[in-house]
Structure 1
Amino acid sequence: MKPFELKYVAGQQGLLREALHNWGISKRTLASVKYGGGQITVNGKEVTVRHPLEPGDAVTVVFPLEELGKGLQAEKGDLKIVFEDDSLLIVDKPPLQNTIPSREHPSGSLANIVAKHFEENEIPATLHIATRLDRDTSGLVCIAKNRHIHHMLSIQQQEKKMTRRYEALVHGRVDHERFTITAPIGRKNSSIIEREVRADGQFAETEVRLLKVFSDFSHVQLKLNTGRTHQIRVHLAHINHPLVGDDLYGGSRELISRQALHCRELEMIHPVTGEALKFKSANREDMLSLIK
């Protein structure tokens, strides 16, 4: 099983430690490399972070092998891969599938099936899911194949360099073509699952664009500027347009048997190559049948 590694070329003189920091490798990652069985080489020779670099030096960081968490069972299942390389796995999740196992659904999750994919392809990684979706929500999910790559993706999300766009069906007739919902979200006191808009909650922002109005529901596009738990569901319920099918937050299941929410687009910067990436996923048939 080949460990994950990254290669760099020094652009100027200086200590290796400084160059690694500029390349986005954190102190925590360096500690895992040093004590977890990894290696750093310059021009093929193992060195410490105090090694002086010259322009043109070839630096290789070999990351420790990762082990799958003991509580996660690898399971065979359908996996729709949109993109895959040594760093990233982008998949298209169907509705009614957990992203990770839960007490109610301990098997059959996306994580179980990705674990099997890693096992069969000898990918030495545990699960690093960068963009998680609710069980009912379908669409694009981004998975990192290494702890360092996950760290880089987290920075992208904090710096708003990763964009996720959703499509949804919401109850009622939305009046405005474009607007932004800015309302803090926190856990509801009476529930361990539900969230609500509350003054002491975390800052949350969702951009809304109206696509089409139907007789008793509207088709909207949503862009997340923050990533709070249940953010879209809570924000839409807060403005009295709950998701169709979302009975937890006031929606009805008369038209569809799950919350009508789909992660349609994902834009990001490749954490290794710097390339701009854009992925798309077609709406599921249950939503399409309502908006045709």
Structure 2
Amino acid sequence: MERFEIEITEEQVGSRIDKALSSINSEWSRTHIQHWLKDGFVLLDGIQVKPNYKVKLGDIVTVDEPEPVELDVIAEDLNLDIVYEDKDVLVVNKPRGMVVHPAPGHPGGTVVNGLMHHCTDLSGINGVLRPGIVHRIDKDTTGLLMVAKNDQAHVSLVNQLVEKSVTRVYTALVHGHIPHDNGTIDAPIGRDKRDRQSQAIIDKGKHAVTHFKVLERYGDYTLVECRLETGRTHQIRVHMKYIGYPLVGDPKYGPKKTIEFGGQVLHAGTIGFDHPTTGEYLEFNAPLPEDFQALVGRMRQSVDKKDA
């Protein structure tokens, strides 16, 4: 356990204590700080306070940062939808609501838990909690994920991601009527300074490029295909919001009044890469999940009725 003593300056005055501390140390998430406050690892002038306490100039905050807890990954039979598998790579079609790897708050029921049951040969480059994981898709995003079954394959797939040679195509339903048939969004993405759990377009963010094409229009909604050139956290969700067409159902970046869907209407339908051993280009496709298809069907019917 490491102890930090922090004096609140004018820059933090008036902020919640959890927000103030996360702005001081970017490695501390507000969620972690809230748990530490509850457990007595964060004290204000020696006294325990709630996360919504507004800090004052000169406040002395003591943070006893606990040692990270290494979670045991338990193999679980989650009946994963394995689209492809050989001795080097595996492609899984992730359902909505499933987290990719264990983390605080999600110790089980993840893709990794299912993979540990399915096979024992996964790359170890990303450590105990993320064996085989080369890239991620959000919990409520469905679709294809490539997995490395050994370290050589892992390095190859990561290099392809860095070189932007991996094909990643998504389908999304967005709010608004997009008038043009296609476009490119080139805007840097970084952590939102006002909300450490969100991403935003910021000048000093990481280079991010999304190409989109309109597939269908349904009045105030548009079905689009998004092709990733880069792979930043929440990239499609942030980019589509940035140009004024946020994803339907998105609880973080979408409007408050949206269609209830259990998360953003986003599907990673196509993934393609060069095989780490043979060099052969492989591409895989997963159809829209049933709930996505049903929603699109209702959209089409609504438009047809208006046109009738």
Q: 1:289 aligns with which of 281, 294, 306?
A: 294
C-alpha distance in structure 1 between counterparts of 2:144 and 2:134, whole Å: 11
2:275 corresponds to which residue? 270
2: CA distance between counterparts of 1:101 and 1:279?
A: 26
1:227 aligns with 2:204: no
Q: In the alignment, residue 261 of structure 1 is paired with which amino acid?
A: L
Indicate whether 1:242 and 2:243 are aligned: no
1:1-292 to structure 2, matched below 5 A, reads 71-119=72-120, 123=121, 125-126=123-124, 127-251=131-255, 252-292=257-297
- Residue 195 of structure 1 contacts residue 230 of structure 1 at CA under 8 Å; is this kept in 2? yes
Instruction: Work out whether residues 169 and 217 of structure 1, in 8 Å CA contact, stay in contact via their aligned partners in 2.
Output: yes
Q: Deviations over 1:157-212 (max 9, x none)?
A: 12222110000000011111110000000101122210000111111000000000
Gaps of 5+ in 1: 1-68
Taking structure 2 as the reference length, what is the TM-score of the superposition? 0.69
Tell me if the contact between 1:137 and 1:262 (Cα under 8 Å) persists in the aligned partners.
Answer: yes
Where do 5+ consecutive residues of structure 2 fail to align?
A: 1-69, 125-130, 298-308
Q: Distance in 2 between matches of 1:71 and 1:243?
A: 35
Q: State the percentage of identical aligned residues.
A: 39
Change (3 A) 1:183 1:93: same
Q: Deviations over 1:211-246 (max 9, x none)?
A: 000022110000000011111110011011111000
> Over aligned residue pairs, what C-alpha RMSD do you find?
1.5
Residue 194 of structure 1 aligns to a residue in which SS? strand
Report the secondary structure of 2:119's partner residue.
helix
Q: Distance in 1 between matches of 2:122 and 2:136?
A: 21
What displacement does 1:253 show?
4.2
Deviation at 1:131, TM superposition (A): 2.6
Matches of 1:71 and 1:203, distance apart in 2: 35
Question: Which runs of 4 or more aligned residues in structure 1 lie more than 3 Å from their structure 2 counterparts after TM superposition?
Answer: none
Deviation per residue, 1:79-134 (Å, 9 max, x gap): 11100000001010000110112322221011111011124xxx364412123110
Aligned partner of residue 109 in structure 2, secondary structure? coil
Q: What is the rounded CA distance, in whole Å, between the counterparts of 1:203 and 1:105 in structure 2?
A: 30
Range with bigger deviation, 244-253 or 188-197: 244-253
Which has the larger displacement, 219-228 or 190-199?
190-199
* Equivalent position amino acid for 1:105 in 2: H
Task: For 2:152 and 2:105, locate their aligned partners in 1 and report how far apart those are by CA, in whole Å.
Answer: 31
1:268 counterpart letter in structure 2? F
**Residues 150, 274 of structure 1: CA spacing in aligned structure 2 closer, same or farther, 3 A cutoff?**
same
Q: Distance in 1 between matches of 2:122 and 2:261?
A: 40
